[in-house]
């Protein structure tokens, strides 16, 4: 905490008790807070006994609810003083929706604040991605979004792997855009001529908080992107297409602190400079656009621009094999996941995020434990496990921790002088067994003497 001003004098009175009875739920962690509908998961729970006595039968209760559907599970724990016991609740298959609830202990103790923890499990589909393909072809493998579609599915066409975060849908650029509100990100690949009404709809979608990812191509020119520019969906002025005939274009610099490129700050995780491109869309960045990466010749490679509540990200090259062979690189899939992970909010924590109630750890809208809903995610807030620590501190530690200036009546207790342990040979007044032992020994000696005389 911040120290109090120097002119504030504190008077300290110890009102605490030597022994405090407290049973706390210090952890309630779902194995997967975001699952697919009708999947199962488990909740790992830790319960701490901070009191001086054993709790023989402590009920631990899990409660979850999704509308009228409810789940309640119970377990009983025996917890020794100062110990932490763990248990796991195995949940049944959860229907689609948001399952909110708590894990609590039914205990009468001195600190009820930490007797429960909030949790949330979201059962929903993957992020919905709309791929708009501007390169029509009779062969699916020659489409501009063919490799991107396969990378997002992690499965054959028409299927989606359970390990994939995204579920893409691909349409041609000359088709009318569907309802955009159900999509988390719209991707334009080599799209030039876009219908004016569709461009305006796409602009309103981004303004209201949607995300747009644009890849270059032969169709992305200044003349063919006028409807996008009019709708505020460009990141600057398009000069044209830059083709190289000698050395390929390679990434030279990128913002390692940006969420898209943070994993690539370590070259051992993937060297972006190894990627080679034969052409790019040359863009003069707008005043409010941010250049996230550049090619070696200084041309912007990745740009971002905020539009209303949403974001527009441009990748200056294509996402297929038209201008590069990077689809065969092991970096292709992680780069696409980083681009879309940033646009969807997955790289920032996903749809279900958790934090603890501590200083400088929460947004202004989450100042108490519970579940707080935001535009694209839910925030689960719980008290810090440190609140359950019941160890007493000395007055000096208390003064130092809170930056107090005690008054003249402050009298810190003198440290207790160490006492040498006794050898344990002193007798208690009621102990008479040593005298009995001496008497028995004397009788034994006397019996030996009498026996010797009789034999003689």
**Closest to 343 in 3D by CA, of 220, 225, 209, 216:** 209
pLDDT, tens digit (0-9, with 9 covering 90-100), for 42-60: 999 999 998 888 988 899 9
The dihedral sign for the CA sequence 49, 55, 61, 62:
positive
The architecture that CATH gives domain 23-124+351-388 is Sandwich (2.60)
Candidate CATH numbers 3.30.450.90, 3.40.50.620, 3.30.540.10, 3.40.50.880; the one for domain 127-348 = 3.40.50.880
Condensed to tens digits (0 to 9), the pLDDT of residues 308-356 reads 999 999 999 999 999 999 999 999 999 999 999 999 999 999 999 999 8
What are phi and psi for residue 58, nearest 5 degrees? Answer: -105, 115
Phi and psi angles of residue 91, each rounded to the nearest 5 degrees, phi first: -85, 155
Closest C-alpha to 130, from 212, 60, 194: 212
Instruction: Report pLDDT digits (tens) over 188-243.
Output: 999 988 899 999 999 999 999 999 999 999 999 999 999 999 999 999 999 999 99
Q: The tokens 């349409």 sit on which residue?
A: 171
The average confidence (pLDDT) of the chain is 88
Per-residue confidence at 370, pLDDT binned at 50, 70, 90?
A: very high
Residue 406 in 3-state DSSP?
strand
Q: Give domain limits for the chain.
A: 23-124+351-388, 127-348
Phi, psi of 440, rounded to the nearest 5 degrees: -65, -35
Same fold, 23-124+351-388 and 127-348: no
């Amino acid at each position: 905490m911040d120290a109090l001003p120097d002119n504030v004098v504190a008077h300290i009175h110890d009102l605490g008790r030597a022994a405090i009875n407290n049973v706390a739920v210090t952890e309630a962690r779902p194995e997967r807070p975001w699952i697919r509908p009708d999947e199962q998961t488990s909740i790992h729970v830790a319960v701490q006994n901070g009191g001086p006595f054993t709790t023989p039968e402590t009920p631990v209760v899990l409660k979850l609810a999704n509308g009228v559907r409810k789940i309640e599970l119970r377990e009983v724990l025996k917890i020794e003083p100062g110990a932490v016991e763990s248990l796991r609740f195995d949940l049944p298959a959860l229907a689609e929706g948001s399952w909110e609830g708590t894990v609590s202990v039914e205990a009468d103790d001195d600190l009820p604040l930490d007797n429960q923890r909030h949790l949330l499990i979201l059962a929903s589909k993957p992020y919905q991605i709309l791929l708009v393909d501007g390169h029509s072809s009779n062969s699916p493998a020659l489409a501009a979004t063919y490799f991107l579609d396969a990378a997002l599915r992690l499965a054959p066409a028409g299927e989606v792997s359970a390990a994939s975060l995204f579920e893409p849908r691909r349409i041609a650029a000359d088709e009318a855009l569907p309802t955009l509100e159900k999509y988390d990100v719209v991707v334009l690949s080599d799209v030039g001529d876009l219908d004016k009404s569709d461009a305006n709809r796409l602009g309103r979608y981004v303004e209201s908080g949607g995300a747009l990812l644009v890849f270059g191509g032969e169709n992305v020119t200044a003349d063919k992107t006028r409807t996008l520019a009019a709708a505020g969906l460009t990141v600057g002025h398009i000069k044209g297409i830059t083709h190289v005939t000698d050395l390929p274009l390679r990434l030279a610099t990128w913002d390692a602190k940006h969420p898209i490129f943070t994993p690539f700050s370590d070259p051992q995780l993937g060297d972006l400079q190894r990627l080679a491109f034969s052409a790019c869309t040359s863009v003069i960045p707008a005043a409010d656009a941010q250049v996230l990466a550049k090619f070696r010749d200084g041309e912007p490679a990745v740009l971002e621009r905020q539009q209303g509540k949403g974001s527009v990200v441009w990748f200056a090259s294509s996402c297929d094999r038209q201008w590069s062979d990077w689809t065969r690189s092991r970096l292709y899939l992680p780069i696409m996941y980083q681009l879309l992970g940033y646009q969807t909010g997955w790289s920032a924590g996903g749809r279900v995020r958790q934090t603890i109630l501590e200083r400088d750890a929460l947004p202004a809208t989450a100042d108490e434990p519970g579940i707080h809903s935001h535009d694209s995610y839910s925030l689960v807030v719980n008290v810090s496990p440190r609140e359950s620590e019941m160890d007493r501190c000395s007055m000096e530690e208390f003064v130092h921790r809170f930056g107090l200036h005690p008054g003249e009546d402050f009298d810190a207790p003198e440290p207790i002088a160490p006492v040498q342990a006794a050898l344990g040979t002193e007798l208690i007044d009621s102990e008479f067994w040593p005298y009995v032992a001496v008497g028995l020994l004397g009788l034994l000696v006397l019996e030996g003497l009498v026996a010797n005389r009789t034999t003689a």
